[in-house]
Amino acid sequence: MSSSRVFVGRLAGRGVFDPVGDQIGKVRDVLVVYRAQAAPRVVGLIVEIPGKRRVFVPISRVTSIASGQVITTGLINIRRFEQRRGETRMIAEMIGMRVDLAASEGGAPARATVEDAAIERTRAGEWIVSELFVRLPKAGAGFGRGPARTVHWSQVERPSEDTGPQSAELLVQTLVDLKPADLAATLLELPKARMVPVLDELADDRVADALEEMSETDQIDILALIPAARTADVLDRMEPDDAADLISALPAAQGAELLDLMEPEEAEDVRRLLEYEFDTAGGLMSPTPIVLAAEASVAEGLAMIRRAEIPPAMASAVYVTHPPYETPSGEYLGMVHFQRMLRFPPHERLSALLDAEIEAVPVTASAAEVSRRLASYDLVALPVVDDQDRLVGVVTVDDVLDHLLPDDWRHADSEEGRA
């Protein structure tokens, strides 16, 4: 087994491979246990395998940790990981921790913040936390960061209850590039004491992204940790249909309070969605499709779907109506698929490209009817109109899947633990 020293901050997200070189997952964290008279012992890795499942890989099944990758024996227990009492996650819990460094030359102990930690294999074959990369406070009354240095674990005093809260800033930096589903899973796995400061550090739009990937129960638990004013800001940044689903799951008084705190324009979209039954096209739809005039060009349509904030399913088509061009729009005329736009010159008018075979569904259509339409025409999005033939929204295939799947589909394997 390689004896190279490895900093866990660089190990996070690296590939985990079997002996023949096939990737079986990615490292998400390193699990250790503290010991009274010795450095913490590494007991294993938390690895994410296909299906977003996080499993435990004992360190005894790791044959090499080097060159930014992990090689294992290939024997993986795929039962869902559950943290045991006495175990500590290095990335989620140790990084950002405040520690006291042992005094030297008669001086006072120095308080420092852990920014990274190294694991290393001893001659006896045991993997331990050998060193910490720490940041000292800035001297004097100035602002900014103090000096950093690497210290051996023997120079560190075990953290005590008066060390203050862990810095969430460092952990948040490791979450910045995670996809929303991964961010949601990571947040839900944090201890509550760690989750609160991390939520405080995360931007509102990232919290919104994560909430959209959680079950209603988890969403409500997260909202309980956030002040009402900030909750409203987060709801402003969620997709209106997701925000409406969340508000409908809250007590009526709390939902009304949040709607009053939201931006008026965003709150209006949500209020409109709350008028419809949850299992109808109106209850499933998003009220923010791309709406353009009949005389708009292919170039304009393609420019709209290129916008980064447009979800992929919503960018599959543009919808043509008479004015006004916001929902509820003027009379609905038809939809134009982005692939069709790619086949025509930029100056071609959208009115010449309307798909005559796809009819909009009424706002009262059942979820089952919407599902049949999407499947029959191989669509990822379907326009929804009211009784005046005005476009009021679009139902996407992910909206329907969220409705059809069991409430606990995100945690279908949560009952499984680590042996």
- Strands 15-17, 69-72: parallel, antiparallel or unpaired by DSSP? parallel
Return the closest-CA partner of residue 7 out of 68, 93, 97, 87. Answer: 68
CA separation for the pair 204, 398 (Å, rounded): 23
User: What is the structure's pLDDT at 259?
Assistant: 95
d(CA 186, CA 302): 35
Query: Could you please report the per-residue DSSP string of 135-152?
Result: EPPPSTT--S---EEEEE
How far apart (Å, rounded) are the C-alpha atoms in residues 45 and 206?
Answer: 26
Fold for the domain defined by 94-167: SH3 type barrels. (2.30.30)
Q: Is residue 292 a contact partner of residue 362, using CB atoms and an 8 Å limit?
A: no
pLDDT at 325: 95
Return the pLDDT at 144: 56
Two tokens at 338? 């982005």
Model-level pTM greater than 0.85? no
CB 351 within 8 A of CB 294: yes
CATH of domain 291-404: 3.10.580.10
CA angle 41, 42, 45 (to 5 degrees): 165
Domain boundaries, the chain: 6-92, 94-167, 169-275, 291-404
H/E run at residue 376? helix 367-376
Instruction: Report whether 176 contacts 186 (CB < 8 A).
Output: no
pLDDT in tens, 312-332: 889 999 999 999 999 999 999
CA–CA–CA angle 123, 44, 83 (5° rounding): 145
**Fold match, 6-92 / 94-167:** yes
pLDDT at 158: 60
Write out pLDDT tens, residues 100-155.
887 665 556 678 888 899 999 888 888 999 999 998 887 654 445 788 889 999 88
Domain 169-275 has CATH 1.25.60.10: yes
Residues in the chain predicted with pLDDT less than 70, given as ranges, are 1-3, 67, 103-109, 139-144, 158-167, 170, 174, 176, 405-419
DSSP letter string, 66-86? ETTEEEE-S----SBP-PPTT
Place of tokens 């004992």: 58
Instruction: Find out whether 183 and 208 touch, Cβ atoms under 8 Å.
Output: no
Do 138 and 193 touch, CB atoms closer than 8 A? no
Domain 6-92 sits in which CATH superfamily? PRC-barrel domain (2.30.30.240)
